[in-house]
Structure 1
Amino acid sequence: MLSITEENYIKALLKIGSQSEEKAAAGINELSAHLGVKPATATDMFKKLKEKKLVDYKKYGKISLTEEGRNKALSIVRKHRLWETFLFQKLGFTWDEVHEVAEQLEHIKSPKLVSKLEEYLDFPEFDPHGDPIPKANGEMVPLDKMVLSDLKPGDTCIVVAVKDTSILFLKYLEKLGVNIGTQIKVIEKVPFDSSLLLTIEDQEPRNVSIKFSESLFVRK
């Protein structure tokens, strides 16, 4: 059985590695920064995880999950996103509140509880932030998405997921009236700084920064 710390490490590797062109591979400095620990501390932990056959790791090389490690990491992500969905749909938590609580609940070990939770929620495919929820076998529904910054003037899209799930950004989106399913139309892209002039649903046009447009996943 894995400790909470070990679970957090393989989950971090799954998250960072999935953004790499290599197979779930990431460097120790990137991982330690994400986890908020010193590189030496992260190195020691990944050595332990290698002994448990959960990661492939060579000194000074990138770290990747083994098949067993990936399955365990997906199981943790599955629990996290199901709990987020439960908190959001059934208990009235806002989408900027669910992550911190789900971080605690994701370490519950009972497979039966997770299965019953999924059934109770009517087998949701996406969490409140638009992220796909892994099934029990690890499969996820593919999400057709692109970042808002890739759109051109005249394009219309709907919001499908949030790339930046920080509390500050989620609260800002809430203030603007942006949720999953919100329609956005790009009116102009400013050449100077790549900021966008756009309309959100039927609101007045507004400017948003490049940081904003790179933090939102949309579908045309």
Structure 2
Amino acid sequence: MSRPPIARTVPRTTADAVDDYLKTIYQFTEWQPEPITPSQLAERLALAPSSVTEMVKKLAAAGFVDHRPYSAIRLTAEGERRALATLRRHRLIETWLVEVHGYGWDEVHDEAEVLEHALSDRLLDSIDAQLGRPTRDPHGDLIPAADGTFHRPDAVRLDEAPAGTSGRVVRISDRDPDALRVLDQLGISLDEPVRVSDELIEAAGTALVRRSGSEVIISPAVASAVWLEVDSLPA
């Protein structure tokens, strides 16, 4: 049974809002190269476009983003530094909730959204040490080190991988908890060695062959949440 998200008990501050914006802008380009537009940012944050426009102006004035009217939004070096610091907090908390407190990987996002603004740096570092300084969260998203460094594997999205591609699962997006639950039911998890079947089933989705030799069919929506580090491409 899924746990309800905890109530927000810490008042939301302007700094919290800035961190949420910068984190969302960074995440949009984390696994693909196209920068985010104001309308996409408004959709991701579930806010009115007018509200997003005003905040983006403030972020630009503060030196966190580069943005001109009717153009995409890009983080400055300072904006990226702050976004990575927030992501580090968020992903360490998600890992802590799963590994120490028994949460499912589909239950932790909303909890971490609240706690990332509430925990002290000292407590966060203690959590990091307790977990053994992890480099990725339960979904395979990278946890930057305290100095902001990280290593991202070369990866391709499963729904864009050609038939016959072999690799291992290195990231599963947590944007859709239902997709995480489907993958749980199918037994697909991080580091799973898989191969895209030579016979794609266009009407049903992507046919995926697992290490055990069994084949499962994943819908396009679920396949779009999975990233593979490719071992070999079809000849």
- 2:7 equivalent in structure 1: none
Tell me the CA shift for residue 156 of structure 1.
Answer: 3.5
Aligned residues: 218
SS at match of 2:71: coil
8 Å contact 1:129–1:165 — kept in the other structure?
no
Task: Give deviations 1:120-152, integer Å, cap 9, x for gaps.
Answer: 111101110011101111111222322223444
Q: Amino acid of the residue matched to residue 210 of structure 1? A: P
| Alpha-carbon distance in structure 1 between the residues aligned to 2:193 and 2:30 | 28
Tell me the CA shift for residue 102 of structure 1.
Answer: 0.8
Task: Give deviations 1:164-183, integer Å, cap 9, x for gaps.
Answer: 54110000011111111223
Matches within 5 A, 1:172-211: 172-190=182-200, 192-193=202-203, 195-202=205-212, 204-211=214-221
| Alpha-carbon distance in structure 2 between the residues aligned to 1:64 and 1:108 | 27
Q: Amino acid of the residue matched to residue 87 of structure 2? A: V
Gaps of 5+ in 2: 1-12
Tell me the CA shift for residue 203 of structure 1.
Answer: 6.3
> Does structure 1 residue 137 correspond to structure 2 residue 130?
no
Match of 1:13 among 22, 25, 30: 25
Q: Classify 1:153/1:19 alpha carbon distance in 2 versus 1 (closer, same or farther; 3 Å).
A: closer
SS at match of 1:136: coil
SS at match of 2:198: strand
| Alpha-carbon distance in structure 1 between the residues aligned to 2:197 and 2:86 | 41
8 Å contact 2:93–2:112 — kept in the other structure?
yes
Larger displacement relative to structure 2 (202-211 or 45-54) = 202-211
Q: Classify 1:89/1:192 alpha carbon distance in 2 versus 1 (closer, same or farther; 3 Å).
A: closer
| Alpha-carbon distance in structure 2 between the residues aligned to 1:161 and 1:20 | 13
**Matched residues, percent identical?**
30
Gaps of 5+ in 1: none
Task: Give deviations 1:68-104, integer Å, cap 9, x for gaps.
Answer: 1111111000000000111111111111011111111
Q: Classify 1:109/1:48 alpha carbon distance in 2 versus 1 (closer, same or farther; 3 Å).
A: farther
TM-score (norm 2): 0.82
| Alpha-carbon distance in structure 2 between the residues aligned to 1:26 and 1:196 | 28
TM-score (norm 1): 0.87
- 2:106 equivalent in structure 1: 96
SS at match of 1:108: coil
Tell me the CA shift for residue 14 of structure 1.
Answer: 1.2
